[in-house]
Chain A
Amino acid sequence: MNRRWLPWLISALALAVIVAGIYFPILRKRLRQATQLPPQSEEQARRELTQTTPATTSGPMTKARLFWSSGAGDGSLMPVTVDLPLTNDPTMRAKQVLNTLLAGPVNPELRTLPPDAVLLAFYMLQDGTAIADFSEALATNTPSGIESEQMAVDSISKTLEANVPQVRWLKILIHGQEVDTLAGHLDLTRTFLVNAKPAPMTAASAHASAPAADSANQSASKSASGKPASTAAAQSKSATQQSLTPATPPGKLTQPVKKP
């Protein structure tokens, strides 16, 4: 029997073992990296689907001050200046800054709001009351605790105070409803004082935009992450045209009188 092929076979097998020995750790590392990627939530998928295509910014860039965690671990916030094409309309302006706040800072450790939370709608009333309606992820994914919940609300409140001078009070709704607490501690049945001396609201600027018509809802959501922000000026017009002015705001603004 001719066994001349035997050394070749042994060499080929040895080569295969060596290649497998090199490739296997690489494969294992890739597999580990893949499993560590967080699964995309429905809210994230929705945000990406509704993300408007970045367009050229026609409005002037404004330095917006956004409040994220200072990183000190004590619940304190730190203002970060971000260039955004902010409009003059308070409702649109509030949406722009809140969406940028939701998008989060460059360092995700400094987030104050859950990454999959979405601003569903934002309303401004004539008396300066701002009503921010967030998706359920804000309530379900904010870490439970007085400090963490206070920090979440403070970041929203301070960001509005710094960028939308017409806001006097802030009311937070979850999916269009008033809820008892944010995540078990912080009282959301109340309104939060944002600015004791707000700029006056004009009749034209006190309006609400329906979520479906909310084309500027995502306009600034990527800016703080270093990605291009979409324009707001052109969107402002279309959103304003489709805006609604509710006779009464959604949710319950008056406290129910409860007796023990």
Chain B
Amino acid sequence: MQAPGTPPQTPPAQRQAPSIVVLDPAHGGTDLGARGAGGVRESEILLLFAAQVRRALESMDFQVMQTRQGNENPSFDDRSAIVNSQRGAVFVSLHVGSTGLPGTVRVYVMSDLSASNDATGLIPWDRAQAPFLPLSRRFGDIVQGFLAPRFKGSPNTAQAAAVRQLRTTAAPAIAVEISSVSMEDRDALDRMAPGVADAIARGASAFRPLYVVAATNPGERP
């Protein structure tokens, strides 16, 4: 409670985060990603997963952008640039791994990354994720929480890993890895897509009110 006569404190300028999700189907082009003995290619199957995730997000009023629509292979930095140019967006990178318990899904967030602003106060591009690590952890835990009951054997909380794609992303960012291309039955992998899509959409929706973007970005001059 404020003392009488004390001037009222003005809260920092904030605004509701725009509902933008940048979806990143990893790999593409000559980079096929993980390959299964049955001919499953990570780069191909991810486009199918991305389409389902996109539909689930759009049904919850999210605006969705994709880092690739077809078989092109943008660089890590090009993918990051898409989300970094959007104020208040979140980033979801989709992967299908080579290993892991078949039928499980893991959410990864960037492992510790020391933040270091340069003399201008700007965030170095190659450490863009550093100021967003706590938010990414929160976002990852929420999405993993929706995935765990659907896919038995999946962890209950997000894991930390030095995922290259996440490092240069200036937004709450997670990587979702589905296990795995080694599944003998391709249909079993395809059947996971609706559950993964719904969990990501619900996770993004639950995270939305927690992510209030400051009027100015970290390091940006007001």
Contacts and interface: CB of A to CB of B under 8 A. Distances in A.
Given A146-B163, A146-B175, A192-B162, A258 B126 contact: yes
Given A184-B27, A260-B77, A260-B81, A148 B162 contact: no
Interface string B89-105: 00000011111110010
A205 B127 CA distance: 33
A11 interface: no
Contact of B167 (A184, A187, A259): A187
Contacts of A193: 112
B183 interface: no
B179 interface: yes
Nearest to A144: B34
A151 B106 CA distance: 14
B99 A73 contact: yes
Contacts of B210: none
A146 B97 contact: yes
B80 interface: yes
B77 A258 contact: yes
Contacts of A181: 164
Count chain B CB atoms within 10 A of each CB in A143, A144, A259 and give the residue with the most. A144
Contacts of B118: 257
Interface string B134-170: 0000000000000000000101000001111101100
B41 to A, nearest CB: 11
Contacts of B42: 144
B94 to A, nearest CB: 11
A180 interface: yes
B97 A257 contact: no
Interface string A154-191: 00000000000000000000000000110011110110
A185 B164 contact: yes
Number of chain B interface residues as a range: 35 or more
Interface in A211-260: 255-260
Count chain A CB atoms within 10 A of each CB in B80, B112, B164 and give the residue with the most. B164
B81 A146 contact: no
A59 to B, nearest CB: 35
Nearest to A154: B161
B180 interface: yes
Interface in B114-140: 118, 124-127
Given A73-B100, A258-B126, A186 B161 contact: yes
B44 interface: no
Contacts of A74: 100-101, 104, 153, 155
A150 interface: yes
Contacts of B161: 146, 150, 185-186
B58 interface: no
B27 A145 contact: no
B164 A180 contact: yes
B72 interface: no
A210 to B, nearest CB: 29
Nearest to A185: B163
B126 A257 contact: yes
A150 B108 CA distance: 11
Interface of A: 73-75, 143-148, 150-151, 153, 180-181, 184-187, 189-190, 192-193, 255-260
**Which 8 residue pairs across A and B have the least CB separation, nearest first?**
A145-B97, A143-B98, A187-B164, A144-B34, A187-B162, A148-B99, A145-B98, A260-B81
Given A143-B34, A143-B97, A187-B163, 20 more contacts: A74-B100, A74-B104, A143-B98, A144-B33, A145-B96, A146-B161, A146-B177, A147-B177, A148-B100, A150-B162, A151-B99, A185-B164, A185-B175, A186-B161, A186-B163, A189-B126, A190-B162, A257-B124, A260-B81, A260-B85
28 contacts: A74-B101, A143-B34, A144-B35, A144-B98, A145-B34, A145-B98, A145-B100, A145-B177, A146-B161, A147-B99, A147-B100, A147-B106, A147-B179, A148-B97, A150-B161, A153-B162, A185-B161, A185-B165, A185-B175, A186-B161, A186-B163, A190-B167, A193-B112, A255-B124, A257-B125, A258-B77, A258-B125, A260-B85
Interface of B: 26-27, 31, 33-35, 42, 76-77, 80-81, 84-85, 95-101, 104, 106, 108, 112, 118, 124-127, 153, 155, 161-165, 167-168, 175, 177, 179-180
